[in-house]
Amino acid sequence: MKTTILSILGLMLLTVSCSQEPTLQKYFVEHAESKDFILLDVAPNFMKADKKLKLTPEEQTALNSMQKLNVLALQATPTNKAQLKAEQKKVEKLLKGEEYEELMHIGAPDKGAAIHMVGEGDAIEEFVVYVHNQENGMAVVRILGEDMNPNNIMTLVGLLQKGNLDLEQLKPLEQLMTAKK
């Protein structure tokens, strides 16, 4: 009898401790298999450094701080305008949560971009870039890492410009952000 009661209490504690709150991670997982969304996972070795490209210690540190980059995008079509607005509201609500600190926001209601982070100072775990455009769609980019800082992100952007990036894996995102005719 005692064992049964303890088992039930343990199960109740486990159930209560598991958060049912929506998170950005759950949002990515829920939409990963959807035919409407484009999902890209990019590993840190996304750069194919050629022999001429020498990384500075700062660039190497920035690259090492990144564990992965996830992109989830929804392209606008003539038939999914309501879905696009609904998904934008979901993402914006998630990013207004306590754990995300907004670093920058630009744009208007019909198009814009925002950068958020999780963590503090030199111990940032996640950067989130959210872009939306009613004509083209929306994309959420999660940069996950360990002990990242804003300088690391700026350095990574510089590496994208400097390095020999394999752009094939980013084609779907490029198509999303290209204006429709």
**Contact between residue 140 and residue 91 where contact means Cβ atoms under 8 Å apart:** yes
E strand residue ranges, the chain: 37-42, 66-75, 101-108, 111-120, 123-133, 137-148
45-66 residue pLDDT tens: 765 544 566 788 888 888 888 8
Work out whether strand 137-148 and strand 66-75 pair parallel, antiparallel, or are unpaired.
Answer: antiparallel
| Predicted TM-score (pTM) of this structure | 0.76
Domain-wise residue ranges, the chain? 21-177
At residue 6, the pLDDT reads 38
- Checking if the pLDDT of 132 tops 90, the result is yes
Name the nearest CA neighbour of 30 among 91, 79, 78, 81.
91
9-24 residue pLDDT tens: 444 444 444 556 789 9
**Contact between residue 140 and residue 92 where contact means Cβ atoms under 8 Å apart:** no
At residue 152, the pLDDT reads 84
Neighbours of 133 (CB within 10 A): 18
Length of the chain (residues): 181
Give the range with max mean pLDDT: 14-18, 70-74, 147-151.
70-74
- The token duo for 140 is 């959420």
What mean pLDDT do residues 154-180 have?
A: 62
Rounded to the nearest integer, the mean pLDDT of the chain is 79
